[in-house]
Amino acid sequence: NVTLLVMPPAVQKGQHAALLCLYDLEEAPLYSVKWYRGNHEFYRYSPTDTPPNKIFPFDGIHVDLSMSNATQVMLQNVQFKLSGNISCEVSADSPSFSTAIVSRHLMVVDLPDSGPEIHTEKERYEPGDVLNANCTSPPSKPPAFLSFLLNNQPVGRPETQKIPGPDLLQSSSLTLTVQLLPSHFNNGQLILKCTAIVATLYRESTEIHLGVSPREPIPERVTSPNVASHTSTATATVHLVLLLIALYSGR
């Protein structure tokens, strides 16, 4: 009964990883525990040997001997070459001489150094417009998986384009073209979000606001009836005064 744990199953390049091999020999003595990357043995623990642990050099694998024993191996400064199947082979000594081997996949990743970027042709959109957008994630390994949300609703096809970069890294690009309908807007708001995911270690999102700004109402010309009445009365009074002056002057 052998159980192999790789922690974490996806590890950032240059970081540490812990490999745990848990077993039950049912009271039989342990003969050896051997660790493999693919078909290459890189670490062995044999309690009858002196010293009991031994390292077999392998490019890209750096074993921390002080933290490794019969049930665990600590790896330092992991590199891309470590990615692949990791196996633990446990053998019992006399009288059973039984052997069991289990494997798990370990992935070494290099995460993007920043979040995804969104580019559009315009800063503001209205119903009837065609939205053309592009989302790009910086180089990583593996390349980031990209997806779009428009007002929190999935939109477009998640067909991420991979662009080769330096040091075995790849950047990711995703384009979106959609005819905007009134149903795409929420009270005039249009929020476009792009999310980038790499394995279980990285999830970053960027969003931009593309909706129309609420239009300011145009003030109407309003004339108060009271104001008009006061104006008419004042005009009539002026006319009456002028008429009286004219009559008085004619005497």
What is the model's pLDDT at position 15?
Answer: 94
Q: Both tokens of residue 169?
A: 């890294």
Length of the chain: 251
**Which of 98, 45, 94, 51 shows the shortest CA–CA distance to 72?**
45
- Note whether 123 and 198 are same-domain residues: yes
Identify whether the C-beta of residue 17 lies closer than 8 Å to the C-beta of residue 7.
yes
Helix (H, G, I), strand (E, B) or coil at 97: coil
- Note whether 149 and 101 are same-domain residues: no
**Amino acid of residue 206:** T
> Which residues make Cβ contacts (< 8 Å) with residue 35, sequence separation at least 6?
19, 21, 41, 42, 43, 44, 73, 86, 87, 88, 89
- Note whether 155 and 199 are same-domain residues: yes
- Note whether 129 and 93 are same-domain residues: no
* Residue 204 maps to a domain: yes
Residue by residue, pLDDT tens for the chain (251 residues) are 899 999 998 999 999 999 999 999 888 899 999 999 999 999 999 999 999 999 999 888 999 999 999 999 999 999 998 999 999 999 998 887 899 999 999 999 999 999 999 999 999 999 999 999 999 999 999 999 999 999 999 998 878 999 998 888 999 999 999 999 999 998 889 999 999 999 888 999 999 999 875 443 333 323 233 333 333 333 443 344 344 334 444 44
Q: Both tokens of residue 136?
A: 């790009």
What is the model's pLDDT at position 97?
Answer: 85
**Which of 148, 143, 145 shows the shortest CA–CA distance to 132?**
148
What is the model's pLDDT at position 213?
Answer: 55
- Domain membership of residue 189 as a residue range: 117-209
Residue 194's CATH number: 2.60.40.10
- Note whether 16 and 73 are same-domain residues: yes
> What is the C-alpha to C-alpha distance for residues 136 and 173, in angstroms, rounded to an integer?
4
Tell me whether the omega of the peptide bond preceding residue 139 falls within 30 degrees of 0, making it cis. no
CA 88 to chain centre: 33
* Residue 71 maps to a domain: yes
Does pTM top 0.75 for this prediction? Answer: no
> What is the C-alpha to C-alpha distance for residues 190 and 188, in angstroms, rounded to an integer?
7
* Residue 187 maps to a domain: yes
> What is the C-alpha to C-alpha distance for residues 118 and 133, in angstroms, rounded to an integer?
7
* Residue 44 maps to a domain: yes
